[in-house]
Structure 1
């Protein structure tokens, strides 16, 4: 299973979906996060919570055994295609920059995507949880 930044933020910010997301992560054989999503999450967590946010993020990723997958050329091309097809201002999904990397990793690994919101449900990806 691939995890989008939105799901990690929901967990770390104690949002209502956190229970379902934690259960999905615990039940998954393997969980992956794009290295681009790691940077995005780090920026958001530090901006909102300072250095403690970075520590909380690292603790969660390590405890949940989430594998960070380095961005490669194939994923970069898939991310480009994702924006062309589903990008903000051109499609109902409205994927932003960070979303495109989660999309690309899920496509590359042929894995479902764990996410919060209604953006990815308008793409061709398999959701890991019912719409949230």
Structure 2
């Protein structure tokens, strides 16, 4: 059982250099997979930003870019058969605990941002392993 962080979703959908490796890791794990509304939001915003940057112009993203990114993220979740984790009060409290312990705000080496704190909290609350990219979570007790 694996909670998929937005960093993995973006790496795969944006075809980052390690995107294929990230997808291979998910396929090897086999699931079941879990995502939250916050992961979908964070991944959609990141992909939208990339679509806007790809135009080479210093203009904001368009609603069409946002819709395209949203469709990609939603389809990715469907293709993975990812189950939704609910963001309950308990998850919210665990996210606050993560920010207090591992957050950028307290200058912890993990430097978890808001999305990271919620991914951490979902993994903790639902007792899931966490699929992530980068070093942030290696500095936490989830590593």
**Fold shared, TM-score > 0.5 on shorter chain:** yes
How many pairs does the alignment contain? 126
Name the counterpart of 2:55. none
Name the counterpart of 1:68. 84
Question: Please, which runs of 5 or more residues in structure 2 have no aligned partner?
Answer: 52-64
Name the counterpart of 2:100. 84
Secondary structure, in 3 states, of the residue corresponding to 2:104?
coil
Secondary structure, in 3 states, of the residue corresponding to 1:116?
coil
**Which structure would you say has the larger Rg?**
2
Q: How does 1:1-132 map to 2 (within 5 A)?
A: 1-26=2-27, 27-49=29-51, 50=65, 51-90=67-106, 91-126=108-143
Q: Conserved in 1, the CA contact under 8 Å of 2:104 and 2:111?
A: yes
Secondary structure, in 3 states, of the residue corresponding to 1:32?
strand
**C-alpha displacement of 1:22:** 1.4
**C-alpha displacement of 1:6:** 0.5
Q: Tell me which stretches of 4 or more aligned residues in structure 1 moved more than 4 Å.
A: none
Calculate the TM-score normalised by the size of structure 1: 0.87
Question: Please, which runs of 5 or more residues in structure 1 have no aligned partner?
Answer: 127-132
